[in-house]
Amino acid sequence: MPIATVNPATGETLKTFAELGPEDVERRLAAADAAFRHHRTTDFAERSRMLRHAAQLLDDDRDDIARTMTTEMGKPLAAARAEATKCAKAMRWYAGHAEALLADEVPPEAEARDAGATAARVHYRPLGVVLAVMPWNFPLWQVVRFAAPALMAGNVGLLKHASNVPQTALYLEDLFLRAGFPEGCFQTLLIGSGAVEAVLRDPRVAAATLTGSEPAGRAVAAVAGDEVKKTVLELGGSDPYVVLPSADLARAVRTAVTARVQNNGQSCIAAKRFIVHTDVYDAFAERFTALMEGLTVGDPMAGSTDVGPLATERGRADLEELVDDALRHGATALCGGRRPPGHERGWYYEPTVLAGITPEMRVHREEAFGPVATLYRVDGVDEAIALANDSPFGLSSNVWTRDEEEQRRFVRDMEAGGVFFNGMTASHPALPFGGVKRSGYGRELSGHGIREFCNVTTVWYGAEPGA
């Protein structure tokens, strides 16, 4: 795939970039290695100052970088602005919390004595150069939620971003430089996917994080495993959205639409499988379909647009194949199921609701990365949980019920990295984020995320001779 900005609203190639050659990559690896040797010795106050400066610069740049994101991957402009704001918020959160999150842990004196020590401590020390392989769907947020904690912990970053968002990737490198982070602390590598393995195998790279597809995660994990290097993987999701009779149905329906079409439906944590109790199924289906059908599809730069184009032509083709397969096997399109008329240019697809889903349909097992919802009818909590867990993925989940016993059941039995009651899944810097099963492993955000790329070091003090 060429490294280029291709406007998904028109299909027009706006700018292309040359891939870095081996000598350029080597210079950046050497710069990262040198930067780590210094950055690891800085204190939290200095790191915090630089990261807060980056947040302020991002706030100042918000409108410009939002237009760049929308141009490169097609999200509505208002959503792009919100993404930039969220990134600045996360930077400030880590700037203010990192020192406490990475504070030394001191076991009780009695436990230290029991371990034969006069004292003991646990230190969190940075690992080194972390390679980040990031996707295009949230081109700022996916990077910042890795970079902010990594830099505050004393690590340095190398970013291999998706090839269709090169201008956003270069902006991020420039942002951290302007904020005062020394040369080499955060660098963008304009390389193709075929060049990732050599970078990951380089002994100066200590660890890797990847957000993306399952095949990409498998490839990076295999190389990292061979090199015995730490990885964090956030892969796909096919999140369930369960609605039970005690739910506030009006709110559940409105939120369901947002949860499905956020980011033009291209979000790993977007609700995709809508599992609705039979007592409220008909009402939910009617209202949900009406709202989905009423969304405005169009130019993502326009303020009236609800759903813009898919980011790539291949992505739309993949979505079409899933929908067509479901329809051939007996599913019903309550709305959508086609390219919207009047949008011959660009990679648009209508918001779609599919009912009558059965296990032989591909969409039952595969992630629909676009504005396509699948509807299921269930008779009770047991069936809802079983169906929600009947997926190779386990990223997050949404459950609408006001019954406390039902809530306890879902907390206990849901196979997912998160359970969100009476609302939609969202990421926040204070809460850990990640999944189970084929959705990956490890956690981003919160204290769990900042410690992922730390050397958890036991320090043991014995008695002085003659003491």
The residues annotated with a catalytic role in the active site are 234, 268
Long-range CB pairs of 19-27, under 8 A, 24+ apart, other chains included: 19/190, 19/191, 19/192, 19/195, 20/189, 20/190, 20/191, 20/195, 25/189, 25/191, 25/195, 25/198, 25/199
CA distance 21 to 192: 11
CA distance 401 to 235: 28
- Strand 156-160 and strand 186-188: the pairing is parallel
With a CB cutoff of 8 Å and minimum separation 6, the contacts of 61 are 84, 171, 175
CA-wise closest residue to 224 among 240, 207, 237:
207
Output Rg (C-alpha) for the chain, integer angstroms: 23
With a CB cutoff of 8 Å and minimum separation 6, the contacts of 286 are none
With a CB cutoff of 8 Å and minimum separation 6, the contacts of 276 are 242, 243, 284, 285, 375, 376, 377, 378
Question: Between the CA of residue 274 and those of 145, 224, 247, 377, what are the distances in Å?
Answer: 28, 36, 14, 9
Question: Between the CA of residue 85 and those of 94, 140, 145, 170, 466, what are the distances in Å?
Answer: 15, 10, 13, 19, 60
Q: How many CB atoms lie within 10 A of CB 93?
A: 19
